[in-house]
Structure 1
Amino acid sequence: MELRQLEYFVAICEELHFSKAAEKLYVSQPNLSQQIKLLENELGVPLFNRIGRRITITEAGQLLYNHSKQILSHISQAQVSISELKQMKGGSLTIGILPGDADLMFNALLLDFHHKYPDVTLSLVETMSVTERVINGTFDIGVTIAPISDERLVHQSLFYEEFSLAVANKSPLARKKAVQLRDLQEEKLVLFPSEHQCRKLIDDASSRLGFRLKPVIETTTLSSMLSLVENNVGATVLPKLLLENLHHEGIETVPITDPTPGQDICLIYRSDKYLGFAARTFITAIKEYIEAAKQKAVTS
């Protein structure tokens, strides 16, 4: 049984005339008659009573007509839904990111994306298990730290993220051209908690030099951290790109050297997963947003 045969059958039921149904469907009457005959042979029952040039629907035909209308209606609705999804009129997308990245990168991006595609439902989840939850299908896409070696995943590099020191513009450090990482062990610092990815990066870099930074205050909130820095409570270490795009008047950015902490940020999704239009469009939006942020940092 083919969908085309059901469409032909419904048209005949509604016209009760083979010739009129053929005209409506833009097919020849012999072809239409042949398809109905094939359908009747497959079902093993007549679908129409043929009385001269008139036809009526049999009991089996009426039963098939009722089901066929529902089937065709569901298919039509599915086609509309898929069309709307392709045009970004609907759909949903679940994105996994590392803790803190919503503040550091995604807030402005999500706002812009929502304005462009208000009917797309976005779910942004912060977790340390981004990779695992992309693999098990909980997340459609994820943004995490490279390298990614799992063959089940496709990974696309987004950018290399260097970290800089943020200090109050009235701090003596603000006048320095650069500071060495080991010099920060003598400074008052405001940092994310130890489980935060930014903090882990800083701790790993300092540990390789034989020391561990001891912040005077830990906070999970970027706005609080920047306020504390601006009021000269302490300095902090944050992504350079973020600091350059914030343009916080009371804060100066100072490069960190020997070494400069940094990490590769990448986007991941399952290699066997079909990416709908929503996912593909959001991936493009991420890349465009990052490129714009880079250009803004260069020209500012």
Structure 2
Amino acid sequence: MDIKQLEFFVVACEKGSLSQAAACMYTSQPNVSKTIRMLEHELGRPLLVRSGKGVRPTAYGERVLEYANLILKTAATISGLTLPDAHNSLRLSTYPSNMISRLLVDFYKTWDTKFRIEYHEGSVEEITDHVHQGVSEIGIVYVALKQVQTFQHILSHKNLVFAPQDVKKICVYVGPNHPLYHMDSIDFEDLSNLKFVRGVRDFFSMEHHLERVSMGVIDNEKLNHVAYSNSDHLTIDLLLHSDVCSLGLDFMHEPYAQYTIKPLSINGCEPFLQLGYVFNPERTLSTQAKWIVEHFSKML
């Protein structure tokens, strides 16, 4: 038995649906189902009643749910007791981002060696876990507007808060060797004709929301993904030296632009991704964390 199994079980009970639990935990429904079944197998009794209408805890599951909530709250308290020294470090977790990296360079140039930089890149789950465990003081994420309320509810179990900053739309990033490099925009219908590189670390991705914002014009499964990787280096080199493109936030802070990579707006795509940061409200933000939040907001 582990914390992740209990988290999946608790969220499934709260949402009454394995698919909604998967969306909340930024994973797939089969993974949620498999994880809970492993817990049931270990305990030797079913925890959920499954039906076409969703799931609900069994009588035994109700008792387990009560103790699972206590365990998760206790685990959150214990995590808060093992914080690293925040006085001499900037501890930040974000999605892979060239602009955040450049922001950290500016932080170093501003504060020189007064603070040590601890920077982690990862998925939504990894970022929020880092903040929850005290590995990072703040975490920068993006969340679909329709999921913000649910996301904040899930964060409450980890004693975390999401502070929204701005809403952005998605775009297609292309390099100088791409045949559409001379264009400024593209239609949803044209996406299926392109070659994409896609990250593999996060179920909560641009592609995950594509079908909703395209009003059914694009089936994400029909996009031509020629490369799957969590390597920023591979993604950048593919964009710079091939006809492969990528989906991303339509957000380019010009002073931090380093490559001959340009965004193509997607015609008819409205802003729908809420960009912000996650933090623990019980911990006062350090001077260095406040600096990052302030300058991140200015970038937006």
1:257 match: 267
Equivalent position of 2:200 in the other structure: 194
Q: What CA distance in whole angstroms lies between the structure 2 residues aligned with 1:285 and 1:268?
A: 13
Distance across 1 between alignment mates of 2:193 and 2:271:
18
- Tell me the amino acid that sits aligned with residue 106 of structure 1: I
Aligned length: 197
1-side partners of 2:232 and 2:176: how far apart? Answer: 18
Match of 2:259 among 239, 242, 248: 248
> Residue 255 of structure 1: CA displacement?
0.5
Q: Structure 1 193/155 Cα, relative in aligned 2: closer, same or farther at 3 Å?
A: closer
**Is 2:231 aligned against 1:234?**
no
Amino acid at match of 2:280: R
Is residue 132 of structure 2 the alignment partner of residue 135 of structure 1?
Answer: yes
Question: Residue 153 of structure 1 aligns to which amino acid in structure 2?
Answer: L
The separation in 1 between residues aligned to 2:271 and 2:208, in whole angstroms, is: 10
Partner of 1:216: helix, strand, or coil?
Answer: strand
SS of residue paired to 2:166: strand
Distance 1:241 1:133, change over 3 A: same
| TM-score when normalising by structure 2 | 0.55
Counterparts of 1:264 and 1:186 in 2: how far apart (Å)? 28
Q: TM-score, normalised by structure 1?
A: 0.55
Which secondary structure does the structure 1 equivalent of 2:200 belong to?
Answer: coil
Change (3 A) 1:104 1:263: farther
CA contact (8 A) 1:163 1:239 kept: yes
Listed one character per residue, the Cα deviations across residues 107-146 of structure 1 (whole Å, up to 9, x for unaligned) are 1111121222212122122333322342343432222234
Residue by residue over 1:209-268, the C-alpha shift from the partner in whole angstroms, topping out at 9 and shown as x without a partner, is 43422222234333432332233332222232238542633x443111343575212112
Amino acid at match of 2:168: E
Equivalent residue of 2:102, what SS?
helix
When Rg is computed on C-alpha atoms for both structures, the one with the higher figure is: 1
Q: How does 1:270-289 map to 2 (within 5 A)?
A: 270-275=280-285, 279-289=286-296
Do structure 1's residue 106 and structure 2's residue 100 form an aligned pair?
yes
Matches within 5 A, 1:220-231: 220-231=230-241
Consecutive unaligned residues of structure 2, counting only runs of 5 or more, are 1-84
Write the distance in 2 (CA, Å) between the matches of 1:211 and 1:132.
Answer: 28
1:53-100, CA deviations, whole angstroms, 9 ceiling, x for partnerless residues?
xxxxxxxxxxxxxxxxxxxxxxxxxxxxxxxx9xx9x622422223x2
Is the CA contact 2:161–2:278 (under 8 Å) kept in the aligned structure 1? yes
| 1: CA distance, partners of 2:142 / 2:246 | 21
Would the alpha carbon gap of residues 219 and 211 (structure 1) be closer, same or farther in structure 2, given more than 3 Å must change?
A: closer
1:218 and 2:212 aligned: no
Structure 1 residue 205, shift from structure 2 partner: 1.0
Identity %: 15
Question: Which residue of structure 2 aligns with residue 159 of structure 1?
Answer: 166
* Other structure's SS at 2:98 match: helix
Aligned twin of 1:266: 276
Distance 1:154 1:139, change over 3 A: same
Structure 2: how far apart are the matches of 1:96 and 1:247? Answer: 22
CA distance in 1, matches of 2:269, 2:190: 11
For the Cα contact (< 8 Å) 2:166–2:276, is it kept in 1?
A: yes
Correspondence list, 1:1-300, <5 A: 91-98=88-95, 100=96, 103-117=97-111, 118-128=113-123, 129=125, 130-146=127-143, 147=148, 148-149=152-153, 150-151=155-156, 152-169=159-176, 171-189=178-196, 191-196=197-202, 200-206=205-211, 209-212=218-221, 213-242=223-252, 244=254, 245-246=256-257, 248-249=259-260, 251-259=261-269, 262-275=272-285, 279-291=286-298, 293-294=299-300
Q: SS at the partner of 1:111?
A: helix
Contact preservation (8 Å) 2:137, 2:289: no
| Cα separation, 2, equivalents of 1:177 and 1:141 | 35
2:128 alignment partner, SS class: helix
- Verify the 8 A CA contact 1:142 1:269 in the aligned structure 2: yes
| Partner Cα separation in structure 2 for residue 121 and residue 247 of structure 1 | 25
Contact 2:139 2:278 in 1 (8 A): yes
Contact 2:160/2:281 (CA < 8 Å) preserved in 1? Answer: yes
- Counterpart amino acid of residue 174 in structure 1: Y
Aligned to 2:284, the other structure's residue is in SS state coil
Q: Tell me, yes or no, if the aligned pair for 2:178 and 2:243 is still in contact at 8 Å.
A: no
Give the distance between the partners of 2:176 and 2:270, measured in 1 at CA: 21
